[in-house]
Amino acid sequence: MAQFTNQAQLTYNNTVAVSNLAVGEIQDVLSVTKTAVSDVYTANDSVSYVINIINSGNTDLTNLTLTDDLGAYTIDTNTFVPLTYSENSLRYFRNNMLQPSPNVAQGDSLTITGFTVPAGGSATFVYETHTNEFTPLQPDSVITNTATLTGNLTTVTAEETVSVSSEPDLSISKSISPVPVMENGTVTYTFVIQNTGNSPVTGGAVITDTFNPIISNITAVFNDTPWVQGVDYSYDQSTGVFISGSDRVTVDAATYSQDTTTGVVNVTPGTSTLVITGTI
């Protein structure tokens, strides 16, 4: 609600009297709220939003415009947009009934035009965005984006903030050498574990593999440190099943850097390597 004040003057025979200060209040007809479906995000993630608009007046409000800045932020004098609208994801509800989509345009922001909020009713927009190369991923990073509703000589805004998820993001790749390998020859399997998340792995990660064909007389080396069978890992030579200890696999957190000119966030994964050698 917006307040306004008013004061009167009374003049008579060169005398001026000033009235008290009267304070009034204008009740907004339109109100808007914005909510993220999830309050955290990661790299290569989707972030969905719900915007709800209430018309408390007794007249339908038409030809309104809603703009979402998609979390735009500035570094030095450069502006970057960390979210991208997922095309055709918008759903428009009027009094909770699905409606044909209004006009949608995306540039540096998402703009929705030509919609109506009925008298005493509501309009709701649900849409999906996804993180991109400008999304901040460092620990404690946030995306705050603002929705602005204009029309009926009124401008109303609503903000929502989501935080980067503080957790590892692991992947694993496997290679074999030599290729081909001779029967009864020595073969080496190399496992590379990468962490693109902003938190390290200090326990709980387990590497499991079933070697086929089964290998014997194995050795295991993790990050250049030999592992001891029965302590750091188990291996069943009758089935070829290898299982690392639950507290033996560790991986550093990724590191991040951002080009202040292009805005691109570069990710350097934390990496660990397990090398297993045996005889086929």
Residue with tokens 């620990």: 139
pLDDT of residue 151: 86
pLDDT of residue 42: 94
pLDDT in tens, 157-191: 999 999 999 999 999 999 999 988 888 889 999 99
Instruction: For the chain, state the CA radius of gyration.
Output: 30
Task: For residue 177, give both structure tokens.
Answer: 């050498």
pLDDT at residue 10 greater than cutoff 80: no
pTM exceeds cut of 0.85: no
The class that CATH gives domain 30-164 is mainly beta
Residue with tokens 């409000």: 61
pLDDT of residue 48: 98
Q: Is 64 exposed, middle or buried (0-12, 13-18, 19+ CB in 10 A)?
A: buried
Cα(259)–Cα(76) distance, integer angstroms: 11
**Is the distance from CB of 243 to CB of 208 less than 8 angstroms?**
yes
pLDDT at residue 2 greater than cutoff 70: no
Average pLDDT, the chain: 93
Q: Do 30-164 and 170-279 fold alike per CATH?
A: yes
The class that CATH gives domain 170-279 is mainly beta
Q: What percentage of the chain reaches a pLDDT higher than 70?
A: 97
**Is the distance from CB of 92 to CB of 145 less than 8 angstroms?**
no
Q: What 8-state DSSP symbol labels residue 229?
A: B
Task: For residue 217, give both structure tokens.
Answer: 């007389």
pLDDT at residue 46 greater than cutoff 90: yes
Domain spans in the chain, listed from the N-terminal domain onward: 30-164, 170-279
pLDDT of residue 28: 55
pLDDT of residue 29: 78
Q: Give the pLDDT mean for 35-64.
A: 95
Contact partners, residue 130, CB within 8 Å, separation at least 6: 44, 45, 46, 47, 83, 84, 86
pLDDT in tens, 232-262: 999 999 999 999 999 999 999 999 999 999 9
pLDDT of residue 255: 96
